[in-house]
Structure 1
């Protein structure tokens, strides 16, 4: 067999290479479609791709990894649901048991309190090892057949809702039957979700179905679902368990675990009354707020991060949410929405709006082209003039000229405090960048690079600017500064002689993402621009598996103690990361103690480095894995973080260790299949 050499390649922030996902007409895709969240504009998925090269025949060697634990974890001998003989058997062939709401709740809570098996005991099986997928099998060393066996150390609890969709009467982690069963009711067995083609270590969408097959399964319905419907689904699941056990649980050296099917005899209202902590959506379809909701958490964190702040006198930068918040609309007299497809406002249009604003209580809405919406090569002289006109109009709207009498005095009733302007877009940080930077340059008399740093550091704004924004503003810089009211006439001649720092020419327009005041998340391009990092106040660099290519002069300017390199850590689904977390977090903490920010980077800044940032957020802010993931995801701006399956699983195990160390005991807020399912749902709109 030929050796397969798989190497990550550098990906542009704009490129989108979707990870494998269920076909759009598959039962699982149809089941998930109804609950797929709407995409957040300007989020992009830079997925590591792989080049597969055939080499002469040689032994297949998977990437290096540290020795695994020798002790093999075993299933608990007794749980709430096992052995099932403690419960009423309502069907013998296939076996189905009945439990009440209290027993179901106890089983769910107990499962969340049991330690997860070590990662090396369930991977690479969780990646998806289809018997016909030669690429995936070869990479994970097909000669070691033990890797393909179903793990015998997992006993989960899967909750299935029969009947109506999941939008109401939903328990924590509940799934639709179509996510684990074939569409045809006469088909036996669970869905075979292992990918038959390609190589991927981010198969989040298959985790629910894979682990349901090695879990006890609880089926319930809402108060409008008949008992026959629930039993029908239970019968199919019980038959699938029997078939799976006979086909895939053939372990000659271990006793084959047996998993069972249970139906809840209680009404859903009993869960609402006695176990509200397990209710995600009540019978009316209202969220309880007690269960982490990934899309809601991401949007909540985005609103917090991008809430309106004053970037210049009377000029605010924020999200569209700031415009529509109850009771705040009248705070702004002018709302400028930057969006794709918007034309430049013409000078006559701006004069007309000025006349309308004589009524000081009126609110005027204007559109302006979004950042990155037009390639720099297409920008004509007219476009630069339009930017200048807009900046000039905003400036004199917020800084009105005072009309004085013959004595040089201004009457109190004639004093105009100026209009309040909100520059906004839906996410609050992407489409507004071009206009916000141009205005700061004009109003403050700053160069491009000064405006870039001031908006981020002094004004505290997280923003994403495209390379085209940088090129356009560099082209218009001289004219903006000559026209700036903040510059004196004697400075105008020196404008054309302004030197552009070297870090500007090395920048692609983007800045590393500020996750916490003392920690930034970025890519290799950011790390290879040390001058820019110093301008941002970053004094330490944590390189995860990828190393910088600095000049000797650049290396000499950084103390060796301020650089940490984590070696032999690839984004391959094999190399473990949590064994390195303590040293990484200690390095970041040392920087915080010294008042120095740390850049954490890998190649793209979405997997290895993102995992470390999630761990730091978990430890620093005392957040669970789901909440810390959404926190970091929101602050990575237009790039979607993508720690692969093993990294996310390891974070759950690391959280266990942190809780045990703190004397809190094991208690997961969400189970692994639910976390994986929610991540798959959030990524799905961007992977089409």
Structure 2
């Protein structure tokens, strides 16, 4: 199914023509063609103060055409054309999106003095790190400059507020009043000053400074606070779907009272809201829901749940029903319900259904014997339904004799069913994680060699996806010695095992095969799309991983693979006067020269033999890209690399997934910095939005949740605008704050 989705991306989106030139000398290891002196930044759009003022002047001119409510001092929109004009002013490309350098660190939230100090422009991590060890009073007394806060003010933002709660508000990117409000508290107790409602809530312009946590941990992923942080920077558009003018006025009054020092305009819709034809681009019902059937139920789903539904839809595309081995199929719960409702929809007729879930127990021998009788009964027309645990860690490395016998007989039953020409369908909720243990066990009890060999073969196939826990891996290693007895029995009899020689044939737990994988980590990096893989520095350091997946290029962000120390070269920033190895120069620098991009071309076997130190194992790569000094700290930026880097260099970092050479991206873990570059690559080459690309990578990086820090995520949002305008799309569709709110809702179930 991965290829199906990939072809959807290619066939249904405009294609970008690859124009990046080839290196003149592919065998060189030094960046002799490029130097810091001849790398020039590519200018982007003019988003300076003059551009902002131009838009704000147009907004001011528009305001002069409106009437004001004399009691509330708010602008009144009396016609749909007036509403359309305001929305056009905001969503048009003529209203430039502020760059990340303008919006941060403000959007991180500067609630604690340590947060303000760390993100201050003059804070130097090496010089000032001791400041973070001081208490609040000491920092405020001895480091006054770190208390300064810069609040961005120049751009035109429009917060659309639905004054009457609705799961599906008419206008896109709508928020509700509850999303804006923060109750006043003192020591955890709500303060009530008088009977006026507004005194219950904090003014918008101080929310970003409120310190409501006992923790001094630096926060770089405050996705849930973005609506509140944008409130003091924004104009407000207040409406509702009920035509309730009183509700709009009450909401506008409360907003006006809470705006504090901000005097940005408030607009209220004062006509019966009808979905006029010319408002179609701004209506929720017309939002294009990527990867989904326009006629399905997601169109009417609550707007705040759309990313969750998109995640489920993508998982179904990627983990749908497929044949794994002869007679054995795997899929998700939706596939099962579809087959039960419409039996003819399945590619084959199934006789056995196995549900993998967390409360399942291994079926007993008595139950399996009854299942075998049903298989052999030619008059039996029903299906056989079994269950199997999705996690065996509960047994540890010790399993009772009866549980072991049931476990082995379960796979004996599957063998008997398949030999009897009965197809078996294994399903779990998501279609891969829950069924991974069963598939790995099946491989262990089949003629596929050692567990490690089988797992590497499965990872190389890419589909179906397997994701094992360490507990499951070591459980399988503990029962591996019994498999020889099992395999011999399967050739002699067509029934279940009633007993076995419980002394392990090899004695003790089976040893992990000698290689540089499986001892610390189990899973291999997933294929995101085409030739692109995303993983961790441990995976990038493994010869087993690189060779098994046929990786030919590695892109490393700030963390070098361990094999790099085996090379006879050093990067320029590491060189000293005593350096005797060749020095690799950077091909690009950004972040005021602090961040550097290096390229090492490994080329042929002869070149690798020369570069690798004698006696060291070589990795079979053609090239290595290293991006130095980009930390996942909410301060370091990819903005220049994404928007101002020459194409011939950027194409080395943002690799076209349609190329045949396989590329592994990694940082330390593979969820923030490297994920950001993979998301950007899909955006660039498949012309999909940053939200579609983010969700696609999120689902494909299946064994952990990717989440770039807030600044990197904003830079992807800005890069989306950059590509959109470049490709001729002149209207913005997403709002930063509503996207962040949905991402937070998406992540909330996974938060501890």
Match of 1:52? none
* Cα distance in 1 between the residues matched to 2:621 and 2:460: 25
Name the SS of the counterpart of 1:564 in structure 2. Answer: strand
Q: Deviation of residue 147 (structure 1)?
A: 6.3
Q: For 1:442-476, what per-residue CA distance to the aligned partner results, in whole angstroms no more than 9, with x for missing partners?
A: 33433212221222323622221111222122222
Name the SS of the counterpart of 1:642 in structure 2. Answer: coil
Match of 1:90? 69
Match of 1:178? 178
Q: Deviation of residue 293 (structure 1)?
A: 2.4
Q: For 1:134-159, what per-residue CA distance to the aligned partner results, in whole angstroms no more than 9, with x for missing partners?
A: 11011013765796122122211111
Q: For 1:529-585, what per-residue CA distance to the aligned partner results, in whole angstroms no more than 9, with x for missing partners?
A: 221221122232211111222373797512675221110000011111133346465
Name the SS of the counterpart of 1:293 in structure 2. Answer: helix
CA contact (8 A) 1:222 1:268 kept: yes
Which one of the candidate residues 258, 261, 266 is aligned to 1:244?
Answer: 261
Distance 1:182 1:460, change over 3 A: closer
Q: For 1:470-527, what per-residue CA distance to the aligned partner results, in whole angstroms no more than 9, with x for missing partners?
A: 21222222332453379989xxx99999982413443422221221131111112212
* Cα distance in 2 between the residues matched to 1:79 and 1:375: 69
Match of 1:25? none
Task: Check if 1:347 corresponds to 2:365.
Answer: yes
How well do the aligned residues superpose, as a CA RMSD in angstroms?
3.3
Task: Check if 1:682 corresponds to 2:739.
Answer: no
* Cα distance in 2 between the residues matched to 1:617 and 1:494: 51
* Cα distance in 1 between the residues matched to 2:616 and 2:158: 53
Q: Deviation of residue 92 (structure 1)?
A: 4.3
Q: For 1:358-388, what per-residue CA distance to the aligned partner results, in whole angstroms no more than 9, with x for missing partners?
A: 3564223221111354253343444443332
Name the SS of the counterpart of 1:311 in structure 2. Answer: strand
Distance 1:487 1:334, change over 3 A: closer
Name the SS of the counterpart of 2:299 in structure 1. Answer: coil
CA contact (8 A) 1:336 1:368 kept: yes
CA contact (8 A) 1:443 1:485 kept: no
Match of 1:249? none
Q: TM-score, normalised by structure 2?
A: 0.71
Q: TM-score, normalised by structure 1?
A: 0.77
Q: Deviation of residue 627 (structure 1)?
A: 1.0
Task: Check if 1:443 corresponds to 2:421.
Answer: no
Task: Check if 1:667 corresponds to 2:731.
Answer: yes
Task: Check if 1:623 corresponds to 2:623.
Answer: no
Q: For 1:239-278, what per-residue CA distance to the aligned partner results, in whole angstroms no more than 9, with x for missing partners?
A: 323x232xxxxxxxxxxxx42111112333335x553443
Match of 1:270? 275
Match of 2:457? 454
Structure 2: gaps (5+ residues): 1-40, 124-143, 184-195, 287-296, 493-503, 567-611
Match of 2:283? 279
* Cα distance in 1 between the residues matched to 2:249 and 2:332: 49
Which one of the candidate residues 75, 99, 102 is aligned to 1:118?
Answer: 99
* Cα distance in 2 between the residues matched to 1:555 and 1:393: 48
Which one of the candidate residues 461, 484, 491 is aligned to 2:487?
Answer: 484
Name the SS of the counterpart of 2:426 in structure 1. Answer: strand
Task: Check if 1:305 corresponds to 2:318.
Answer: yes
Distance 1:670 1:146, change over 3 A: farther
Task: Check if 1:220 corresponds to 2:281.
Answer: no
Match of 2:663? 598
Q: For 1:378-419, what per-residue CA distance to the aligned partner results, in whole angstroms no more than 9, with x for missing partners?
A: 43444443332111111110111xxxxxxxxxxxxxxxxx22
Distance 1:486 1:238, change over 3 A: farther
Distance 1:205 1:591, change over 3 A: closer
- 1:139-538 mapped onto 2 (5 Å cutoff): 139-141=118-120, 148-163=149-164, 165-182=165-182, 185-187=197-199, 189-190=203-204, 192-194=207-209, 196=211, 197=213, 198=216, 199-223=218-242, 226-241=244-259, 243-245=260-262, 258-270=263-275, 274-280=278-284, 287=299, 293-325=306-338, 326-328=341-343, 331-357=349-375, 358=377, 361-371=381-391, 373-374=393-394, 376-400=396-420, 418-458=421-461, 460-484=463-487, 500-538=513-551
Match of 1:27? none
Match of 1:578? 639
Q: Deviation of residue 635 (structure 1)?
A: 1.2
Name the SS of the counterpart of 1:344 in structure 2. Answer: coil
Which one of the candidate residues 74, 79, 85 is aligned to 2:52?
Answer: 74
* Cα distance in 2 between the residues matched to 1:260 and 1:289: 32
Match of 1:103? 82
* Cα distance in 1 between the residues matched to 2:471 and 2:97: 47
Q: For 1:305-358, what per-residue CA distance to the aligned partner results, in whole angstroms no more than 9, with x for missing partners?
A: 111211111111121111112524764322211111211111111111233343
Match of 1:652? 717
Name the SS of the counterpart of 2:562 in structure 1. Answer: coil
CA contact (8 A) 2:321 2:332 kept: yes
* Cα distance in 2 between the residues matched to 1:360 and 1:312: 25
